[in-house]
Structure 1
Amino acid sequence: MKVPILKFFVLRFWFAGLLLAVSGVATAGMPLFVLNSLDGTVSVIDPEQGREIKRIPTGKEPHHLYLTPDEKSVIVANALGDSLTFIDPRTAEVQRTVTAILDPYHLRFSPDMKWFVTAANRLNHVDLYRWNGSELTLVKRIPTGKTPSHLWIDSKSTTVYSTMQDSDELVAIDLATQTLKWRIKTGALPADVFGVPGDRLLLVGLTGGDGVEVYDVSGPAPHLVKKLLTGLGAHSFRAAGDGRHVFVSNRVANSISKIDYLTLEVVDRFPAPSGPDDMDISADGKRLFVASRWAKKLTIIDLASRKVVQQIPVGKSPHGVWTLDHVPRQ
């Protein structure tokens, strides 16, 4: 039986759209979450409408958030609230609250999905939890340097790296033995840390300085390889999704720099207003979302023109920014 040409193409595109929806590839329209640290709330942004559609109360001082391995929950870490708020990343509905998690400032799951790690910023320790798919069990509390800030875990799930904001250090924790492997002095106020694919190099943002330090951590002892000048207050990283570049926000310089982590060179820099902090990037790679910490706004930057195209009012001291509809993390 012959099918009319127009009907054939209609059916073909309908079927292609159905496959995308079933496979989970189509994530357009997913909400964007902005953590308002001084309000104890989460702003839920509709990226297509370009406005806040909901505000969720959490515990005190939510700073960072992370997706569970099954992608059914995004966990908001409430540092001063000593709690975790689980939110559906698709519907923005609160699922549950887990209490008695001491000072969860930063958080991360290991790639093998067995470990959940938190950095206690005000209490000077890193906590290692076992994750069974739904519940957390504290395995070890490890005293560190002063003010543990951001975490990274290598691709083999063997080592946790954490910056020490006020003792100016980078430390490594062995997950098998739950002990400190080494520590090394860094520049002033190290904040976010980003692992280059291959696990050999780590980038460390210096919020008290003007750039990013690169460390070789492949041997028994780490060593500084290079310093990249990005701008005053280098703070937070977000991978560009192309397997080659990563963005860093320069909170004092009010700019964002783009680093080629294969050549270890700064290849671009553009303005970002009012204390740019955490970032995310839309799945199509066209828009960068950044918290403007001092302006109580989420700033949207068009990456092709490198210009601000919109600012959306949110709560006080916006920090973590995240959406399920993002580019690949490496």
Structure 2
Amino acid sequence: MALLPFLHGLARAAGDEPPIFVLNSKDADVSVIDPSTWEEIKRIPTGKEPHHLYLTPDEKSLIIANAFGDSLTFIDPRTAEVQRTVRGILDPYQLRFSPDMQWFVTAANRLNHVDIYRWDGENLTLAKRIPTRRTPSHIWIDAASTTAYVTMQDSSELVAIDIPTQKLLWRISTGTLPADVYGTPDGRHLLIGLTGGDGVEIYALGASPDVPPKLKQTLPTGEGAHAFRVVGDGRHVLVSNRVANTISKIDFVNLAVVDEYPGPSGPDCMDLTADGRYILLSSRWAGRLSVIDTQTRKVVRQVKVGKSPHGVWTLNHAPRQ
């Protein structure tokens, strides 16, 4: 294994790079990894079952959503110090800020609702709790910050919610166990990973948000298509195939799979290093952070973390647009 180019690409020197965070869902904590040494330098206790995480619009706080803990843990993304804990957020399984930074949306996977909060730059105020059907999973918010698209994992549906009025716009059926949802930058398509299938459904969006989208095609990627991570080049997005143990690279302009990488041991959430070369992957069944070189298509490193790692994130990442 040629480690010198690898280490050069991921860290200039010890302490120069912000840490990598991996959420250990079954341990109720966060592994903090130094990318210069690839050692776990500490664990941060959180509420029960941290699954997903999101950066505040001012980039000062990384929010860890603790689903069973009914809380949000705010962590400094540069120092890995806990800033505060916000309690009384019911079942925040998945979370997302609107692009205009005015709204914060959570999906309650266990309690079957979507919460829409107003965000004033520091505090959250619940605008409305919207009952849904079974197991809301992942959220995508359009560029206009007016529409939230949410997958319903166990009722195999996609719903759209008008954010300013907090009204349900429509509901459509999808394939089995829809998980992550991704909207293309041109506003024309939605991609949905089918964890109960072997590919990604691609929907053509309607002329306006209140018009339900239509299924355009199902793109085979691998069994258990689950989580997306945009590459940051304005053209490609990655999807982890949890059962197939692969990662597919999708050209969302031509709507085709153009490359494939290994994704060992139940690949779940991903981040991408700033240069776009290395995929940081939570290998959920192995309890490890896997690092994949996109040029050689090989796993170049694995770091032991906690039980059932889910969300993975670093401030030193490729663009998310």
* Aligned counterpart for 1:207 among listed residues 185, 195, 198: 195
Paired position in structure 2 for 1:97: 85
Q: Contact between 2:206 and 2:214, CA under 8 Å: does it hold in 1?
A: no
* C-alpha distance after superposition, 1:1-43 (max 9, x if no partner): xxxxxxxxxxxxxxxxxxxxxxxxxx96111100000000000
Q: Does 1:142 align with 2:130?
A: yes
In 1, distance between residues paired with 2:231 and 2:71? 31
| Deviation of the 1:268 alpha carbon | 1.0
| Deviation of the 1:270 alpha carbon | 2.1
| Deviation of the 1:145 alpha carbon | 1.6
Residues 1:286 and 1:183: Cα distance change in structure 2 (over 3 Å):
same
Q: Which runs of 4+ in 1 moved over 6 A?
A: none
Q: Contact between 1:199 and 1:218, CA under 8 Å: does it hold in 2?
A: no
Residue segments in structure 2 that go unaligned for 5+ positions in a row: 1-14
2:309 partner letter: P
Q: Does 1:130 align with 2:121?
A: no
| Deviation of the 1:176 alpha carbon | 2.1
Q: Given the two structures, how large is their TM-score scaled by the length of structure 1?
A: 0.91
Paired position in structure 2 for 1:8: none
Paired position in structure 2 for 1:261: 252
Residues 1:28 and 1:197: Cα distance change in structure 2 (over 3 Å):
farther
Paired position in structure 2 for 1:187: 175
* C-alpha distance after superposition, 1:141-162 (max 9, x if no partner): 0011210000000000010000
**1:50-65 matches, cutoff 5 A:** 50-65=38-53
Question: What SS does the aligned partner of 2:151 have?
Answer: strand
2:23 partner letter: L
1:145 partner letter: R
1:120 partner letter: A
Q: Does 1:165 align with 2:153?
A: yes
Question: What SS does the aligned partner of 1:290 have?
Answer: strand
Paired position in structure 2 for 1:229: 220
Identity %: 70
| Deviation of the 1:108 alpha carbon | 0.3
* C-alpha distance after superposition, 1:15-73 (max 9, x if no partner): xxxxxxxxxxxx96111100000000000011121121111000000000000000000
* Aligned counterpart for 2:35 among listed residues 42, 47, 54: 47
In 2, distance between residues paired with 1:52 and 1:158? 40
* C-alpha distance after superposition, 1:86-110 (max 9, x if no partner): 0000000000000000000000000
* Aligned counterpart for 1:288 among listed residues 268, 279, 292: 279
Q: How well do the aligned residues superpose, as a CA RMSD in angstroms?
A: 0.9
2:305 partner letter: V
Q: Contact between 2:31 and 2:43, CA under 8 Å: does it hold in 1?
A: yes
In 1, distance between residues paired with 2:212 and 2:241? 29
1:282 partner letter: T
Paired position in structure 1 for 2:105: 117
Paired position in structure 1 for 2:166: 178
Q: Contact between 1:33 and 1:44, CA under 8 Å: does it hold in 2?
A: yes
Paired position in structure 1 for 2:243: 252
| Deviation of the 1:197 alpha carbon | 0.3
Q: Does 1:66 align with 2:54?
A: yes
Question: What SS does the aligned partner of 1:257 have?
Answer: strand
Paired position in structure 2 for 1:14: none
In 1, distance between residues paired with 2:157 and 2:120? 32
In 1, distance between residues paired with 2:233 and 2:206? 24
Residues 1:52 and 1:112: Cα distance change in structure 2 (over 3 Å):
same
Q: Contact between 1:28 and 1:325, CA under 8 Å: does it hold in 2?
A: no
| Deviation of the 1:254 alpha carbon | 0.4
Q: Contact between 1:201 and 1:218, CA under 8 Å: does it hold in 2?
A: no
1:237 partner letter: F
| Deviation of the 1:218 alpha carbon | 2.9
Q: Does 1:88 align with 2:79?
A: no
Residue segments in structure 1 that go unaligned for 5+ positions in a row: 1-26
| Deviation of the 1:216 alpha carbon | 1.3
* Aligned counterpart for 2:297 among listed residues 302, 306, 311: 306
* C-alpha distance after superposition, 1:96-136 (max 9, x if no partner): 00000000000000000000000000000000000000000
Paired position in structure 2 for 1:328: 319
In 2, distance between residues paired with 1:57 and 1:176? 35
Residues 1:204 and 1:28: Cα distance change in structure 2 (over 3 Å):
farther
Paired position in structure 2 for 1:21: none
Q: Does 1:277 align with 2:265?
A: no
